[in-house]
Structure formats: structure tokens, C-alpha cells
Amino acid sequence: MNEMGIGPEASFVLNTFAFLIWAALVMWMCAGFTMLEAGSVRTKNASVICLKNIGLYSIAGLAFYLIGFNLMYVDVGQLVGSFEFFVRSTPEEVALLESDDAQRAAATAAAVAGSDGYSSMSNWFFQMVFVATAASIVSGALAERVKLWTFFAFTAILTAIIYPIVGAWTWGLGWLGGDDGWLAGLTGAAFKDFAGSTIVHSTGGWAALAGAMVVGPRIGKFRADGEVKATPPSNVPAVTLGVFILWLGWFGFNGGSQLALASSLDAVAMSNVLVNTNLAAAAGVIAAISVSRTILGRVDLLAVLNGAIAGLVSITAGPDFVDHYWAILIGAVGGVVVVAGIKFLEIVRVDDVVGAVPAHLFAGVWGTLAVCIASGGNLVSQLIGVVAVGAFAFGASWLAWTALGKTIGARVSARVEELGQDTSELGLEAYPEFVVMPDQDDDAEFAAARAKEESAE
């Protein structure tokens, strides 16, 4: 019996049910990313965004089933897990499913005793939706100019190899036996990342940054005279709805990372996690509103919406504390970080369509260090984790994007970018009743880019 007075089978059922419900809620975040990105791009690219997002979720699920989960969790050594293919239910669970009525009690007891307190495939499902979230971060940053199949190829690499290796360093606790990953076993103080400010969000942010640098900016985004062309959201309600969906899904993301719901302790801890998550997001919004005019010269709606995401990312590394006012501080700093990060990327001429790098990478780094404020983190261990994950995730992503660029090509042609990927790659317009009015400055930029491509051929 645990402190609730319930037996191990009841605990097994409650924990498994919690995993499945929280995972479904995190999966719904893919809808949020889709709405956010489709509303942020120009209308001529909205359909491709929808295809990219349902495609990346499907690729993430297959890749994590094929090899990614085993690399991250099975027989984990210091650096990586098993290269075994496919994920399977435990032998005890298989025996339970195949048992008859007379054997059921013994098979149930064996399945529960041989588990970590929840069914094996509920754990796989919960972990899989996290890797899909990391892949979604890349999609928006590279919108409007990356080739569809190149993006899908990178998604497979990220979800099958890059993300699982990062996870093995940190969360790889030997699900079926094995040692802690090296970051989780740092001497003195382990690296702490409750739900993935670094493991999920910074990894996705580093991958997005590498891709944006290799693929390059959209034609006409950065003018020769130093001007940065404004690209406001094409569908503001869709972007706003997307952020609210992400906010809702984050309760599953952070709350589910308690990894149990079979005791009063877990229930109270999960309640605190959800409250801190909500407070941080709200503080991120207000902070972004407060500083956007000073930093960007206007109250920028996209920056404000990213303030909510940055607050959520910032609190994700350490939401498990009881002094809730710290969540407001951590989220508010995240809101400032994302607005300043958007301006910084403009200065260094890195084109991030949706602000994914500031919201997930910059705020993710801040959130990982903020664990030292209220969640008992060690600054040296947290810095080691940030640097190690950043070096690996960015380096591996840079190599992958570069290799893809030199083989199958990373970006669409100037003609495709001019017409939009919807009609050029899909033959489908997201808003067929709308007439897209060309920008005369863009026409000149596209003509110059096409001439450059033709001369290179």
C-alpha cells in the first residue's frame, strides 16, 4: 500500500491512465503549432505548413518507435542506449494479455511487479509526443523557404538520433535496466530539467537555429540598405488560437512529467506544477507587452504571443516548487528574453519566421538556469548541461542540414519562393478566394535571385 492506502495494481492503473491522458493533451500541442505557424506565414505557404506539421508528427512517431526510444531509454550507458529496433510491451504484460480467466490474477501481479508503476507502452506514448514537440519547433523557424522533403528527412534524423541521444544523457534512466546518462549522474549535483526546457525546447531551438543559418533568410527579408522587412502574421486569430492550444497542452507537458498520479503526494505536486506553469505563461505575456514597444518600436502581437510561450518554456525545467511567486519572476524574465531575442536575430540577420529560436532556445536556456532559483539546481551542473546539449544539438543539426543541402538541396528555388510553396509544391491554395497582391520591392528581389540561380546553372 502507498500513502493513499491503495494497492500496487490500483497505482499501476492510475499512473498508466495519467500517462495516456497527459500524452493525448501534449499531442494536441501539434495542432497549436500548426495554427501558430499557418497563421504566421504568408497565405501562399499556409497549406504546406499544415502538411509539414501532420507529416512531422507521423515521422516522429515512427522514428521514435523504430529506434529513438531504445537509444534514449533502453540499457543506457553514459552516452547512448540500445541500437535495438522496435519498442515492445514487457513479457509480463504480453502474458497478461494472453492469459485466461484462471491465470489473470497471477499474470496481473507479475505485470505490475515487473513494471515501473505503469504500463510500458503508456510510457512510450508519453515520451513520443515530447519528441514530436521538439520537431515542431523547427518547422516554423524555417517556414516559406525550406524544401518539404528535406525538412521531413531532417525530422527523421532529429527524432531518431539527435533528440534521443540528448535524452539518454539526461532522462535515460535505464527503463529496462542500465545506468544513468552522464548528465543525470554528474558528480556532486545532477543536471535538472523537470520537463525539458533544455532537453526538448533548447534541442529543438538549436536544430532550428542551425537550419535557419544553413538555409538562409527568405528573399527580401533583409534589404541591402540594412532595413528588415516586416512580415506580420497573415491570420492573427489563427496564431492566437494556436498559442492558447499550446498553453493548454503545456499542462499535460509539465503536469504529466510528475510521472505518477497514484498518491496524495503526486496529486499535490502536480497541482503545484500546473499552477506555476500557468503563472509563468501569464507573466511572460505581460512582460512582453511591457517591453515590446521599447525594444521593437511597437506593441508587437507576435512577440506578445511568444511571451506566453517563452514563459511556459522558462518554467518547464523546474516547475515543482511551492513558492509560486517565483513562477511569476521566471516567466516574466522569459517574456523579456523572447522580445530581446527577436530583435537580436534581426540584428544578426537570422530569419526565424515565428520566433521559435528566441521562444524555445533562448528562453529554454534561461529556464534551465532558473532551476537554481527555486528548484534546487546547481549552477555549474546546469551550465554544463546547457553547453553540452547546445554543442551537440547544434553541431549535429548543422552537419545534417549541410549534408542535406549538398545532396537533395535545402531550400526551394527563387521561383517557388515567389509563387509560394502551396501552388508550387502542392497545387493547393489555403485561401483560394483571396487574391495575393505582389510587393514591388519583392518582385525586384525575386528577379535578382532568379537571375543569380540561372547564372549558377
Pick the more confident residue, 179 or 146: 146
pLDDT higher than 60, residue 175:
no
- pLDDT value for 185: 78
What does pLDDT average to over the chain? 92
pLDDT per residue as tens digits for the range 417-433: 999 999 988 988 888 87
Sequence-ordered list of residues with C-beta below 8 angstroms from that of 96, at least 6 positions apart, any chain:
104, 107, 108, 110, 111
What's the rounded mean pLDDT across residues 349-375? 97
What's the rounded mean pLDDT across residues 306-312? 98
In the beta sheet, which residues pair with residue 222? Answer: 228
- pLDDT value for 3: 52
- pLDDT value for 177: 42
pLDDT per residue as tens digits for the range 48-69: 999 999 999 999 999 999 999 9
- pLDDT value for 81: 83
What's the rounded mean pLDDT across residues 179-200? 85
Smallest Cα–Cα separation from 146: which of 88, 218, 82?
A: 218
- pLDDT value for 115: 87
Quick one: CATH architecture of 8-407? Orthogonal Bundle (1.10)
The three cell numbers locating residue 353:
519566421
Phi and psi torsions of 111, nearest 5°: -65, -40
The type of residue at 456 is A
**CB atoms < 10 A from the CB of 271, how many?**
12
pLDDT higher than 70, residue 176:
no
In the beta sheet, which residues pair with residue 411? Answer: 146
The type of residue at 1 is M
What's the rounded mean pLDDT across residues 11-20? 95
CA atoms within 13 A on the CB side of 294: 8
Pick the more confident residue, 361 or 176: 361
380-399 as b/e, with b when 16 or more CB fall inside 10 Å? ebbebbbebbbebbbebbbe
User: To the nearest whole percent, how much of the chain has pLDDT over 70?
Assistant: 94
Asked whether 15 and 262 are in contact (CB, 8 A), the reply is yes
What are the domain boundaries of the chain? 8-407, 414-456
| Range of lowest pLDDT (104-108, 175-179, 378-382, 446-450) | 175-179
pLDDT higher than 70, residue 12:
yes
Q: Answer yes or no: pTM beyond 0.85.
A: yes
pLDDT-derived band at 178, boundaries 50, 70, 90 = very low
- pLDDT value for 359: 98
Asked whether 60 and 155 are in contact (CB, 8 A), the reply is yes
Separation CA 345–CA 240 (nearest Å):
22
